């Protein structure tokens, strides 16, 4: 069980809020890092047991620096995912009418996600870019700016007064975080798991990506996410990040991984871990004839043929 956790800092950000939903991290040692590479390097070097970093946002998409870090350097493994609803608030040092607000500190991504609310409610305020949601809260607390767009965790930490809650233009926005450790045996299957992979295809082979998807489809494995990133080696070469329903210990997914190993230039296993659901939801069922029971039955049938029984 990890006891030393690194995370994308500084303190008072959504990443810290997500980390503190993990009981072991709430009770353990939490160290903010200045960047995603720094947080992951703490794990690789042994300075931390695990690191929590943002993986994707439902509005802004994937976090490129995290994906790039997962395919460079020594391997790391995702052991847990955390989904956190993104709720922005407008905070200030003291209560004030919105009409009196003339300057607002905000991280560029935060102000982008609150753009319509800002135009409708504080059209005359100047929005000033800062390095993080935590920095925005601090600058409002010191009086450098009249108000700040920040995470709810930054309000109490900096003694701010909330002027407006849930100001994001999309109330359903969610950020997905990944908890990464050094490689080790994955936790046992739960029946509702995700397996993440990074695969490099042979770019000079016709239908290479179709072959990858076929290895999954013919085994009834649901592909919940696919994302491409350039390798940086030459134009036109990419790594594909895949999230698949299932666990590496399950026969269907195990067979698919063997197939990918045969046809891909490289396959990096990024982990099998429990699916985090904000609302109760049944896992996607395999099509008829492609369930785990069907695979077990067909394997037993083949064994009977081979043994002559």
- Bond prior to 141 in cis (omega within 30° of 0): no
Residue 105 CB: number of other CB atoms within 10 A? 25
Q: What is the pLDDT of residues 197-220, one digit of tens each?
A: 999 987 767 788 899 999 999 998
User: In angstroms, rounded to a whole number, what is the distance separating the alpha carbons of residues 148 and 151?
Assistant: 10
pLDDT at position 57, please? Answer: 86
Which pair of structure tokens corresponds to residue 99? 């009409």
User: In angstroms, rounded to a whole number, what is the distance separating the alpha carbons of residues 26 and 234?
Assistant: 43
User: In angstroms, rounded to a whole number, what is the distance separating the alpha carbons of residues 151 and 172?
Assistant: 15
Instruction: State yes or no: pLDDT of 232 exceeds 80.
Output: no
Q: Where are the alpha helices (DSSP H) in 144-285?
A: 152-157, 208-217, 251-263
Q: Which residue would you say has higher pLDDT here, 242 or 170?
A: 242
> What rounded mean pLDDT belongs to the chain?
91
**Residue 39, H or E segment:** helix 36-45
Name beta bridge partners: 33: 8
Q: What is the 3-state secondary structure (H, E, C) of 49-89?
A: CEEEEEEEECCCEECHHHHHHHCCCCCCEEEEEEEEECCCE
Q: What angle do CA 11, 17, 23 make, to 5 degrees?
A: 115
pLDDT at position 11, please? Answer: 85
User: In angstroms, rounded to a whole number, what is the distance separating the alpha carbons of residues 237 and 229?
Assistant: 9
Q: What's the predicted TM-score (pTM) here?
A: 0.84
């Amino acid at each position: 069980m990890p006891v030393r956790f690194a995370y994308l800092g500084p303190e008072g950000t959504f990443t810290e809020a997500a980390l503190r939903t993990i009981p072991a991290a709430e009770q353990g040692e939490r160290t903010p890092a200045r960047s995603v590479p720094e947080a992951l390097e703490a794990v690789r070097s042994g300075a931390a047991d695990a690191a929590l970093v943002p993986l994707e946002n439902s509005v802004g998409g994937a976090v490129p620096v995290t994906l790039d870090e997962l395919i460079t350097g020594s391997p790391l493994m995702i052991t847990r995912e955390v989904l956190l609803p993104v709720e922005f608030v407008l905070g200030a040092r003291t209560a004030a009418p919105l009409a009196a607000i003339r300057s607002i500190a905000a991280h560029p991504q935060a102000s982008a996600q609150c753009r319509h609310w800002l135009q409708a409610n504080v059209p005359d305020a100047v929005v000033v870019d800062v390095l993080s949601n935590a920095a925005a809260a601090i600058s409002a607390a010191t009086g450098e700016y009249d108000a700040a767009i920040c995470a709810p965790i930054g309000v109490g930490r900096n003694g701010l007064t909330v002027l407006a809650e849930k100001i994001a233009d999309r109330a359903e926005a969610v950020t997905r975080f990944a908890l990464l450790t050094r490689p080790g045996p994955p936790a046992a299957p739960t029946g509702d798991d995700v397996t993440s992979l990074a695969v490099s295809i042979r770019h000079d082979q016709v239908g290479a990506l179709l072959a990858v998807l076929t290895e999954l489809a013919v085994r009834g494995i649901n592909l919940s996410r696919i994302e491409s990133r350039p390798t940086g080696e030459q134009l036109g070469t990419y790594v594909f990040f895949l999230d698949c329903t299932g666990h590496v210990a399950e026969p269907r997914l195990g067979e698919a991984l063997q197939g990918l190993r045969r046809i891909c230039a490289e396959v990096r296993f990024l982990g099998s871990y429990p699916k985090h659901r904000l609302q109760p939801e049944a896992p996607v069922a395999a099509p008829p004839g492609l369930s785990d029971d069907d695979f077990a039955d067909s394997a037993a049938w083949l064994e009977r043929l081979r043994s002559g029984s």
